């Protein structure tokens, strides 16, 4: 697991990208990752210095969900949606042999509830990755947490990104179904 320095980020800076390629690893800093197998393919889940990516591979093709604050090499990518576009939104896509849905919402909490949720997201559990970013003097640590459930060719991936300066948590939920890939093999 790599280390990063503290960088102030805001919920409004987050961008959602859906790339028709593998994850742009040279443009991000992978802090922790895990690959999980599904019937018909696999998903690599990664926490990166600016948020997360999911790399979905099936039948020799890959797509990548990237949810990050654009900077450096990411600044040149076309942003699909910014969280500042609204408090919540959904996106659906159907690729070759792949059903995919994405939704995002932002939740603002009181300080006490935010601290409880931040601690909960740092607990180690099966089917969970988490990373606590360096602490800011005034606000505390930001946390990114990825959780997943697998059922044959289907996966549900939930992510949580805390923003201590805003007392906010950005949630995402990705539903992936490779059943069509399995049926056509």
DSSP string, 1-62: ----------GGG-EEEEESSS--GGGS-EEEEEEEEETTEEEEEEEETTEEEEEEEETTEE
Q: What is the mean pLDDT of residues 19-48?
A: 92
**1 band by pLDDT with thresholds 50, 70 and 90:** very low
pLDDT at 83 over 70: no
Could you tell me which residue, 36 or 133, shows the higher pLDDT? 36
Per-residue pLDDT, averaged over 145-164, amounts to: 96
Q: Determine the average pLDDT of the residues in 153-164.
A: 95
From residue 71, give the alpha-carbon distance in Å to each of 28, 86, 176.
Answer: 9, 21, 27
Higher pLDDT, 74 or 177: 177
What confidence tier does 119 reach under pLDDT thresholds 50, 70, 90? very high
Residue 185's pLDDT band, with cuts at 50, 70 and 90, is very low
**What average pLDDT does range 65-93 have in this prediction?**
64
Q: Round to whole Å and give the CA distance between 66 and 157.
A: 13
**164 or 182: whose pLDDT is higher?**
164
Is the pLDDT at 5 greater than 90? The verdict is no
Q: Mean pLDDT across the chain, nearest whole number?
A: 83
Please give the pLDDT value at position 172. 93
Tell me, what's the pLDDT at 118? Answer: 93
């Amino acid at each position: 697991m790599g280390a990063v320095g503290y960088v102030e980020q805001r919920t409004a800076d987050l961008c959602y990208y859906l790339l028709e390629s593998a994850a742009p690893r040279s443009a991000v800093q992978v802090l922790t990752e895990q690959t999980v197998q599904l019937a018909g393919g696999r998903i690599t889940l990664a926490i990166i210095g600016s948020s997360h990516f999911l790399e979905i591979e099936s039948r020799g093709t890959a797509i990548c969900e990237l949810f990050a604050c654009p900077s450096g090499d990411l600044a040149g990518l076309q942003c699909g949606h910014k969280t500042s576009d609204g408090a919540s939104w959904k996106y659906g896509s159907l690729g070759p042999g792949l059903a995919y849905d994405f939704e995002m919402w932002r939740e603002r909490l009181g300080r006490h509830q935010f601290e409880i949720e931040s601690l909960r997201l740092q607990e180690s559990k099966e089917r969970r990755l988490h990373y606590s970013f360096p602490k800011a003097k005034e606000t505390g640590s930001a946390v990114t947490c990825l959780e997943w459930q697998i059922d044959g060719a289907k996966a549900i991936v939930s992510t949580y990104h805390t923003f201590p300066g805003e007392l906010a948590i950005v949630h995402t939920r990705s539903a992936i179904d490779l059943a069509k890939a399995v049926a056509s093999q």
